[in-house]
């Protein structure tokens, strides 16, 4: 698999454009377990700010990876879940998880 120039339509570039950023992959990883509310996501991802989580969720929604469901009640209830396109990322994220476990063991727990 020899590549000389990475074109704008390169599949890997497309994936990195959609999943790029510090939090998107973690959001998707958590949503693989099922639907979550905003504050649940925030609690499960230490270090993410409310503003950043909101922005990342909006971008994932625009890219049709996540769906946002608003329930008409007081107080408002909003839930996030993966679309079928988002669910299709599961094998890739499972591979990333496996690789991370191996890396963690080989690096003796040293992560930057």
So what's the pLDDT on residue 46?
95
So what's the pLDDT on residue 51?
96
So what's the pLDDT on residue 1?
61
Exposure b/e, 20-50, CB count within 10 A at least 16 = b: ebebbbbbbbbbeeeebebeebbeebeebee
So what's the pLDDT on residue 6?
78
So what's the pLDDT on residue 79?
97
For the chain, domains (ranges, CATH) are 11-86 (1.10.10.10)
Pairing of strands 77-82, 66-71: antiparallel
The pLDDT tens digits along the chain (112 residues) read: 666 787 888 888 889 989 998 899 999 999 999 999 999 999 999 999 999 999 999 999 999 999 999 999 888 899 999 999 999 999 999 999 999 999 888 887 666 6
CA distances from 68 to 25, 46, 54, 104 (A): 17, 21, 11, 34
The DSSP letter of residue 33 is T
């Amino acid at each position: 698999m020899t590549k000389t120039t990475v074109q704008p339509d390169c599949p890997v570039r497309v994936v990195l454009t959609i999943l790029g950023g510090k939090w998107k992959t973690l959001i998707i990883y958590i949503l693989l377990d099922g639907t979550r509310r905003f504050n649940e996501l925030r609690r499960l991802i230490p270090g993410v700010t409310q503003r950043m989580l909101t922005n990342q969720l909006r971008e994932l929604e625009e890219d049709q990876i996540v769906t946002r469901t608003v329930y008409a009640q007081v107080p408002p209830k909003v839930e996030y879940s993966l679309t079928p396109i988002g669910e299709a990322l599961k094998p890739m994220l499972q591979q990333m998880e496996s690789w991370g476990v191996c890396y963690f063991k080989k690096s003796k727990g040293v992560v930057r």
